[in-house]
Structure 1
Amino acid sequence: MRRREHDLVVYGASGFVGKLLSAYLAETAPAGLRVALAGRSREKLAAVRAELPGAAREWPLVLADTADPGSVVALAESTRVLVTTVGPYAVLGMPVVEACARAGTHYADLSGELTFTRDAIDRTDAPARESGARIVHSCGYDSLPSDLAVLLLAEQARTDGAGELRDVRLVATSRGGVSGGTVASMRGQAAIRRRDPSARRLADDPFALSPDRPAEPDTSQPPDATLPSRTRDGRWTAPFVMAPYNTRLVRRSNALQSWSYGRGLTYGEVMGCGRGARGAATAVGMTAGLAGLLGAMRFAPSRALLDRFLPAPGTGPDHAARQSGWFRMVVEARTDLGRRYRATAAGPGDPGYAATAVMFGESALALALDGDRLPPRAGSLTPATALGDVLVRRLRAAGHAYEVVPSADPA
């Protein structure tokens, strides 16, 4: 890659998550890394920059707007790495990822939108392979811990000679608010499925993000949970809103690595709700709430009502609320040789905001600084296949936990 004006650009820096990401990079980026802030409004970008510490107050500002394709192309060509918070990605994201793929610019986003990610794979994988760009979707709390935890399980089982992963199940628990960006993405995906039968078929395909759908093993995958259930050790669970996306992302990571996790891998995700009567009540309430939310998004009057109560894109909790949150994901796995393992991914901070700023920030820094140590791949990738163990080490150093231990407990 020829020398470019910037090493790293944050596109959407004046949005809520963009501000958090910019602040994180201002504290953690090494001296000499040429970071720039990009967006539509110079005034808003300048206001964000003015609140940053130290040398970050001198970061350059770049104007770009997805409505102006030329500005997006110029932005992509000006930097080695571009990370974007500008969503919903299905509406605003494609010009950015396409420009990066053609320019040979490494790219990362926070997408958990199935149709966008599938479209981006189809449009950008070949040009990104040709240009050498790493295109990395889903670098926030919604998806990244799932992808990295299963990678670590497969690596540990392989190191131990314990066979391939067979039955893998994630149980997520957290404390934090609902991300306005996630809500907007859910609303957008619901709208796409309403009007497009192919999107509904895509959502029903457990291998929807596969790089080679005909080559996928004929393995029966667990259906995405829609009802409360109990684990074998008595914990109540409810459907996890990100499971329909994350399960397909993990299966893509497996396929991109020649199914090295195991051709018989089955993978599911649920939300942990606790034990006993309280856990049962929580599971029922969360299941009903999620079903009601998704149902309400189908109709214009109920969507308008939801807009009055749900957080809007570009908004989020205050500093105290962001600091008081946390996330924990426990992934139980059984191998085809009968060995069991447990992976844990956990960290402090509101998952959709504070913890996501850490995950996204470290993903950006890995792309900008660790190129020689990253897996030697280009194209449309996943966090596990593009950043892998390098990102795990970065996240551990940033205060997040990623560990794998043998387990005798039932999944």
Structure 2
Amino acid sequence: MSGEQREFDIVLYGATGFVGKLTAEYLAKAGGDARIALAGRSPDKLLAVRDSLGDKAQSWPLITADAAQPSTLNAMAARTRVVVTTVGPYARYGLPLVAACAAAGTDYADLTGEPTFIRDSIDQHHKQAADTGARIVHSCGFDSIPSDLTVFALYRRAEQDGEGQLTDTNYVVRSAKMGVSGGTAASMVELVRTAATDDEARRLLDDPYGLSPDRAAEPQLGGEPDMRWRRGRDIAPELDGYWVGPFVMAMVNTRIVRRSNALLDYAYGRRLEYAEQMSVGRSVLAPALSALSAVGNTATVAVGSRLLHRVPNKVVERILPAPGTGPSEDILENGHYTIETYTSTTTGARYRATIAQKGDPGYKATSVLLGECGLALAVDRDKLSELRGVLTPAAAMGDVLLSRLPAAGVTLETTRLG
């Protein structure tokens, strides 16, 4: 069955989870004429979600599918152009669905922030997906759209201006208000536990080019830059007076950006150095906070992996938020983020890309980003990259997302600084 003959444009798998419900709400509002179905393990819960949506969604079909029953995933993937999934931890539940989509030639988008899962997806399914014409696109939420799209936007701006390729590039979270959900907590625990027991996983997490399509082809630019603490002025004069520390999700986002560069045949440049930071302000305590954040982020996997795997699962479950839970309504609606990405080019030009969005970054804002990725894959197919296989958001649909996101309430602009 070809993509044009599929019954649905989008199947949202995991529609009864916390982010799944938010994504269903967004698609009901922004989906236009797209043919959408909701999928998950429980028909009763799916029905309750559909009933909570507007009139337009009441005709959406419901599909029962379960990661523990791969045949149900295979059947689901064969019916649709695109599967959008919020079912994590992805290392535990994700690969059977990737396999189903790769085999069926079905496009796929998820929210994973788990480098080990992405590496497994690449190793096991990239070639088949490329052969069948499937686009398997990981990290389509707050991790890693702002990272991937701001660097892509800077590349496009420098290209337009004829100012060469990108070199030193730094992502800085200027402000953010967000909560924590059970799904994110479960994914982080899964990642740390894996690092504790798997030497190959630890090597992957230590390698800045761990998601590269060809590790031997990558430039040798020195050690991992993700864990630096710095004065803002060392990044850009516009940040003079500020201090920054490493951003907690740099371990995932930086590798997505580097994979995008490689998949795009190093269009950003072979001298690209990329790091992610968050501003800790300009008070007298800022230098200490910056240093502490660097130490804390470095220790998260190194120490946490040694300790967490010794703690019984029942104890961990009592401490962490339950799966399917999330931030309060106030944080969901009043959360926000503003991120600035600075770069210098091979000609000496300097640029800044700014991306901002309202809504809790990991949930409300993420549901918009994921929904737009699903719609881009489903309804803008003639405008997408020709690349197939296990991709990144920028490599699969960079130009389309730059066009779509402003209408979805995501501000993304580039500024020449010098």
TM-score normalised over the length of structure 1:
0.94
Maintained 8 Å contact 2:153/2:402: no
SS in 2 for 1:333: strand
Alpha-carbon distance, 1:284 to partner: 5.7
**Hey, what does 2:164 align to over in structure 1?**
163
Alpha-carbon distance, 1:280 to partner: 4.1
1:254 aligns with 2:244: no
**Hey, what does 1:268 align to over in structure 2?**
275
**Hey, what does 2:90 align to over in structure 1?**
89
Alpha-carbon distance, 1:309 to partner: 4.5
- Cα RMSD of the aligned pairs, angstroms, is 1.9
For 2:56 and 2:350, locate their aligned partners in 1 and report how far apart those are by CA, in whole Å.
49
Distance 1:158 1:367, change over 3 A: same
SS in 1 for 2:140: coil
Aligned-pair identity in percent equals: 50
**CA offsets, 1:216-269, max 9 Å, x none?**
12222543216x432222312222111011111101100111101000110000
| Equivalence map 1:315-334=2 (5 Å) | 315-334=325-344
For 1:221 and 1:405, locate their aligned partners in 2 and report how far apart those are by CA, in whole Å.
29
**Hey, what does 2:397 align to over in structure 1?**
387
For 1:261 and 1:340, locate their aligned partners in 2 and report how far apart those are by CA, in whole Å.
14
For 2:338 and 2:319, locate their aligned partners in 1 and report how far apart those are by CA, in whole Å.
27
**Hey, what does 1:189 align to over in structure 2?**
191
Alpha-carbon distance, 1:270 to partner: 1.0
Maintained 8 Å contact 1:221/1:267: no
Structure 1 counterpart of 2:277, one-letter code? V
Structure 1 stretch 179-188 or stretch 149-158: which is displaced more?
179-188
**CA offsets, 1:117-148, max 9 Å, x none?**
01101111111111111110000002111001
For 2:263 and 2:293, locate their aligned partners in 1 and report how far apart those are by CA, in whole Å.
34
For 2:141 and 2:80, locate their aligned partners in 1 and report how far apart those are by CA, in whole Å.
22
| Equivalence map 1:121-132=2 (5 Å) | 121-132=122-133
**Hey, what does 2:137 align to over in structure 1?**
136
1:11 aligns with 2:13: yes
For 2:294 and 2:165, locate their aligned partners in 1 and report how far apart those are by CA, in whole Å.
32
1:400 aligns with 2:387: no
Maintained 8 Å contact 1:221/1:266: no
For 1:354 and 1:393, locate their aligned partners in 2 and report how far apart those are by CA, in whole Å.
20
Alpha-carbon distance, 1:336 to partner: 1.5
**Hey, what does 2:80 align to over in structure 1?**
79
SS in 2 for 1:155: helix
SS in 1 for 2:267: coil
For 1:265 and 1:142, locate their aligned partners in 2 and report how far apart those are by CA, in whole Å.
20
For 2:313 and 2:74, locate their aligned partners in 1 and report how far apart those are by CA, in whole Å.
35
Alpha-carbon distance, 1:180 to partner: 2.7
Structure 2 counterpart of 1:266, one-letter code? E
For 1:65 and 1:77, locate their aligned partners in 2 and report how far apart those are by CA, in whole Å.
15
| Equivalence map 1:262-411=2 (5 Å) | 262-280=269-287, 282-283=289-290, 286=293, 294=301, 295-296=303-304, 298-299=307-308, 300-301=310-311, 307-408=317-418
| Equivalence map 1:35-184=2 (5 Å) | 35-172=36-173, 173-184=175-186
Maintained 8 Å contact 2:16/2:40: yes
Structure 1 counterpart of 2:165, one-letter code? E
Alpha-carbon distance, 1:55 to partner: 1.9
Maintained 8 Å contact 2:344/2:351: yes
**CA offsets, 1:269-322, max 9 Å, x none?**
011111122534654665576567654463334976664454332111232221
Alpha-carbon distance, 1:163 to partner: 1.1
Structure 1 stretch 198-207 or stretch 304-313: which is displaced more?
304-313
Distance 1:240 1:355, change over 3 A: same
**Hey, what does 2:226 align to over in structure 1?**
224
Structure 1 counterpart of 2:170, one-letter code? R
**Hey, what does 2:26 align to over in structure 1?**
24
Distance 1:16 1:273, change over 3 A: same
For 2:230 and 2:319, locate their aligned partners in 1 and report how far apart those are by CA, in whole Å.
29
**CA offsets, 1:40-92, max 9 Å, x none?**
00011111111000120221110011111111111111111101001000000
For 1:278 and 1:347, locate their aligned partners in 2 and report how far apart those are by CA, in whole Å.
28
Structure 2 counterpart of 1:20, one-letter code? L
For 1:197 and 1:69, locate their aligned partners in 2 and report how far apart those are by CA, in whole Å.
29
For 1:377 and 1:22, locate their aligned partners in 2 and report how far apart those are by CA, in whole Å.
28
For 1:337 and 1:140, locate their aligned partners in 2 and report how far apart those are by CA, in whole Å.
33
**CA offsets, 1:175-234, max 9 Å, x none?**
1112432221111111111111111111111111111111112222543216x4322223
TM-score normalised over the length of structure 2:
0.93
**CA offsets, 1:354-388, max 9 Å, x none?**
10011000000001100001112211110001111
For 2:402 and 2:7, locate their aligned partners in 1 and report how far apart those are by CA, in whole Å.
29
For 2:321 and 2:243, locate their aligned partners in 1 and report how far apart those are by CA, in whole Å.
28
Structure 2 counterpart of 1:247, one-letter code? T
For 1:292 and 1:204, locate their aligned partners in 2 and report how far apart those are by CA, in whole Å.
12
For 1:366 and 1:71, locate their aligned partners in 2 and report how far apart those are by CA, in whole Å.
25
Aligned residues: 406
Distance 1:293 1:263, change over 3 A: closer
Maintained 8 Å contact 1:296/1:303: no
Distance 1:292 1:377, change over 3 A: closer
